[in-house]
Structures are given as C-alpha cells and as structure tokens.
Amino acid sequence: MNWQELEAAIARALGRGFSVRDRSAVGGGCISEAWHLDSSEGPCFLKTGPAGAADGFDAEADGLAALGRGGVRVPAVLARGETGGRAWLLLEYLDLRGLDRNAGARLGETLAALHGEAAGSFGWHRDNYIGSTPQANGELGDWVAFLRERRLRPQLALANRHGAPAGLAAAGEQLLEALPAFFAGYDPHPALLHGDLWGGNAAALGEGTPVLFDPAVYRGDREADLAMTELFGGFPPAFYDAYDAALPRDPGYATRRELYNLYHLLNHHNLFGGGYGRQALASCERLLSTVR
C-alpha cells in the first residue's frame, strides 16, 4: 500500500485535504485488511483489498446507506475508491463495545421497526456478497421462489463443486421441492434485512446506542435476520424480548429458523470447509423429516 497515493486519492474523493497522522492495523476480518486511522478528518476506519474487492466495498456502502435510511445506526461512509491496484473504503470510526442488556433491548426495538416496514419485491436493486460469496438479489414477487432460486439453489450448486458430503445434493433437491410446505399459513412481506446478522456484526456505542455493520442487505422475510442471530449466538435475551414485544414472531418461526440458517451453513461450507457440510446435510434431513 502506497500511503501517499492513498491519502491523495482520499483527498480527491472528499474534495478537501486529507492526511494520516498515525495508523494501526485492526484484526478480526477474514476478507479485507483494516486500519484505524488518526487523520485530519478525525478517527477513521479504513478497509483495503485487491482491486477485485471494489464491488464488494460498493455493495457494503450501499447496504450501510440503506440501513441508515431505515433508522439503524451504522458507520457513515466517508469515501471509497481504487488506488494503485488496491480498492479501499473509508468509514467513520466508532468506539464499539459488546451488546449488554440495555443495548440489546434497543437493538431489538430498532430491528423490529426496520422489519415492520414493507416495500417493493423480494430482493434488492443490485447483487452483493455474503462474506466473499456472490449473493444474487434479482427481484421476485414470490418469497418461496426467491428463497429457492436466489438463496438455497446457488449455495447447493457451489457445495457440489466444493466437496459436499455424500447425500447433500439429493437431500437439498428434495428440500427445494418441499419449500412451500414450510410457509403454509404464513405470508411474509418484503422487509429490509441486514442479511448477515450474526453477533460479530452488531455492537454498541458507549452510551448504549446499538450499531450494525458489514451488511448483505436485501428485502426478504424478517425471520431470516432473526434466525441468523441465533446461529452463532451473541445476542442477549433482552434483544428477543424487545423485538417480540414490538413485532411478535410467527409460531412457525421455530421450524423456519433452521431453514434460513441452512443458507449460512452452506455458505460456510463453501468458504471454509470443515464440518459445515455435514451440519448442512444434517439440517436438510431434519427439515425434510418435518414435512414427510
């Protein structure tokens, strides 16, 4: 990274002078490099990656803007671009901490308000990424068709190319055919979703305001966001209490939760391998047992 070139590029994007007084690498990411900058703009958070990451950074900026318009506190996007063969995204730096009871409850209320608004079709105006996996968002009017064709089928196809365990392809195909059975008596509306809402993508400011980041937004069934909050943990009970008080979950959520999290298990298999493929197969078999 040529920092002089980068500073000049950021200055051009901002339309004013920009300089970095100090910088330190920030760990924790698995896709891009991250930096905490002490700059003439104040503290900033910088992501950098190869030129091919530019579309991902554009998608992230688009998602953050959408969540912000929906009333969610997110890091402000300051500038983005490509310099010297490296893509970059400059964000507002926020001093974050974990979700305690108070912040969790506030996040539950905020997410319920976001999910309570319905607009448009299922999908999004652009494709984006779930982790580093391309996520197709071509809009459809039918949620079951969207879940089948834009979410589960592409991940199953990738899994078949990435060493899926024996039986996953057949079980996955059976599940795709059985999808309508999971939505009998339940008609979700197209809510704006964070899309990648595990515990690592939610935190809080010191005074308790919840913050979301690293989105993979689209319009879908609100239960898909809630399901992922339970996949890896990290959300306090107060989050669910506050959400349900504002926007109660449908009784069928307990079953559909596993259906929605199958998408993420498949994606983790495709990204990381390990035991995620076996978990996905077991999930398919449990889901099929509920509709046979």
Residues 6+ apart with CB under 8 A from 189: 118
55 is catalytic: no
Alpha helices in the chain (DSSP H): 3-14, 54-69, 101-116, 143-146, 153-161, 168-178, 222-231, 237-246, 253-272, 276-289
Of 38, 62, 196, 225, the active-site residue reads 196
| Residue 127, Cβ density class (10 Å: 0-12 exposed, 13-18 middle, ≥19 buried) | middle
- Interatomic CA distance for residues 124 and 25, integer angstroms: 33
Handedness of CA 97, 101, 105, 106 (dihedral sign): negative
Q: Which residue has the tokens 């197969």?
A: 281
Query: Given the structure tokens 């959408």, which residue do they identify?
Result: 66
Rounded Cα gap, residues 19 and 10, in angstroms:
9
CA–CA gap between residue 241 and residue 244 (Å, rounded): 5
| Contacts (Cβ under 8 Å, ≥6 apart) of 137 | 123, 124, 125, 126, 127, 128, 150, 218
CA distance 222 to 232: 18
Q: Which two tokens stand for residue 81?
A: 């671009």
User: What SS3 class is residue 15?
Assistant: coil
Residue recorded with tokens 């199958």:
262
Which are the catalytic amino acids? 196
